[in-house]
Amino acid sequence: MLWAIFLVLIALWVVAWAGLHIVGWYIHLLLAAAFVALVIRLLKGRKPVP
């Protein structure tokens, strides 16, 4: 689920970068939030199955 959200935010960021400069700052904030969530997810890792 997190990966899907991350990919959607990346796509939105690319669209904003390409031409929607008015809302570009908002997309960059969402991208930063997705990146932070991804780093937290990678640092936590998966719990081992008993």
Per-residue pLDDT of the chain (50 residues; tens, 9 = 90+): 788 888 888 888 887 777 666 666 777 888 889 889 888 888 887 666 66
Q: How far is CA 18 from CA 1, 11, 33, 46, in A?
A: 26, 11, 20, 36
Per-domain boundaries in the chain: 2-43
- In this structure, what are the phi and psi dihedrals at residue 19, rounded to the nearest 5 degrees? -170, -15
- What's the pLDDT at 24? 62
Question: Which two three-digit tokens encode residue 20?
Answer: 């929607």
The rounded Cα 7 to chain-centroid distance in angstroms is 6
Question: Which two three-digit tokens encode residue 34?
Answer: 């997705």
pTM: 0.49
